[in-house]
Structure 1
Amino acid sequence: MKPVSFDDRLNFPATLRNREYILSVLSNYIPDNGLILEIASGSGEHGVFFQKSFPSIIWQTSDPELIHRKSIVSWIDHYGLSLKMPKPLDIDVEKRPWPITNKLRDLIKGIVCINMIHISPWSCTKALFEESKNYMQKNNFLILYGPFFIKGIKTSLSNLNFDQSLKMQNPLWGIRPLSRVNNIASENGFELDKIIEMPANNVSVIFRLK
């Protein structure tokens, strides 16, 4: 048997801090079967954690960065999930159509996107909704997690500072107003289902395809 190397595994500290909280939200939406597509899976630590937590479904990771996809594969191997979890897809939300086969499309029950919206150009948010609708059925969910500016809720100083630091790294990045995200979602046939406050001034936002 070919030895497995775990050298490609990346560790993102935020994953360990938020995964249990995100899990509690997902537990109310994960179906009994089918496939969940994760966009911008990063290191893959979330993916393997959720796959272990929801063994009845398939957790399909994806990421446009090769270093991240290698990390995801290593995490899958590390936990012995290679017979359950598919290899990550090379999905850049702006390169369309996404590499989703008809077989895969038939299995998708929901899409999850964690901490991508604020560290990507606004065009990526638009592409996420514009393309996601092509692979989903009525009432399927799209869940976003991260920081947002929400009308009527005072923005924390930490999020204001975080927004400034993001824009210093890349002027196209930044925390998005949830109202603007909701407008894009609505234009693409999604309706806002629920906003759930999370620790560290983040929220989970659940949309449903109408």
Structure 2
Amino acid sequence: MDNRLFFSATQRNRNYIGDVLSRIIKKNGSVLEIGSGSGEHGVVFQKRFPEIIWQTSDPELVHRKSISSWIDYEGLNKKMPQPIELDVKKFPWKIPLELANSLQGIVSINMIHIAQWKCTVDLFRGSGKLLNEGQFLILYGPFKIGNKHTSQSNYFFDNSLKVKNDLWGIRNLEEVSDEAKKNGFFQENIINMPANNYSIIYKKVFN
């Protein structure tokens, strides 16, 4: 059965995000994607970086079914593992031992603004326990800088999110990075991306 979902934003941003990842990813080990959604990013990155293992995850069954369908559709069954069920709020994270031992970094794309703030807190908490010194955590999406929106379109987008769920919304980068610091990360780089988005690169500096 074809359970593939199609998210339009993925088509627009996947190459740009891939370019950022190409600066950071090493030619070995695995990467864990948190909140993989449809799975469209996952299969694209697995194909772009065939020397690593791209491990998708999502708490929603409908998303995990979509990811599995995308893996099958792209003929990646022999290379790419099936998605794992992972809710950042549920500790401890249930991570396969092989993944934990080979992990070089974590990526989360367009997640923290469509989730309650606790998910951001727990994303760093869980990542801080899983990653070792020198490993990366990359967030992609819209952010407020100095508690101000970077564009009018982001202002309207933020309001639309809060109409859907008053716990959602575009996060203030300084507050996000404060959570990172609490869990042993420092903000290594901020990369401007198309459509008023950013890639934020954090590195683990201590356990």
Which TM-score applies when normalising by structure 1? Answer: 0.95
Measure, in 1, the Cα distance between the counterparts of 2:20 and 2:170: 21
Aligned to 2:67: 72
Task: Say whether 1:23 aligns with 2:11.
Answer: no
Measure, in 1, the Cα distance between the counterparts of 2:150 and 2:10: 23
What is the root-mean-square deviation of aligned Cα atoms in Å?
A: 1.1
Supply the AA of the counterpart residue of 1:188: N
Aligned to 1:132: 127
Question: Which 5+ residue runs of structure 2 have no aligned equivalent?
Answer: none
Question: Which 5+ residue runs of structure 1 have no aligned equivalent?
Answer: none
1:117 to 92, 112, 118: 112
**Identity of aligned pairs, percent?**
58
Query: Quick check: 94-103 or 39-48, which moved more?
Result: 94-103
Give the number of equivalent residue pairs: 205
Aligned to 1:198: 193
Measure, in 2, the Cα distance between the counterparts of 1:207 and 1:28: 14
Measure, in 2, the Cα distance between the counterparts of 1:102 and 1:135: 11
Task: Say whether 1:33 aligns with 2:45.
Answer: no
* Per-residue Cα deviation, 1:158-182 (whole angstroms, up to 9, x for no partner): 0011111101110000000000000
Which runs of 4 or more aligned residues in structure 1 lie more than 3 Å from their structure 2 counterparts after TM superposition? Answer: none
Aligned residue for 1:73, secondary structure, equals helix
Return the offset for 1:104: 1.7
Supply the AA of the counterpart residue of 2:82: K
Measure, in 1, the Cα distance between the counterparts of 2:149 and 2:157: 15
Given that residues 147 and 172 in structure 2 are in contact (C-alpha distance below 8 angstroms), is that contact kept between their aligned partners in structure 1?
no
Which TM-score applies when normalising by structure 2? Answer: 0.97
Supply the AA of the counterpart residue of 1:20: N
Return the offset for 1:153: 7.3
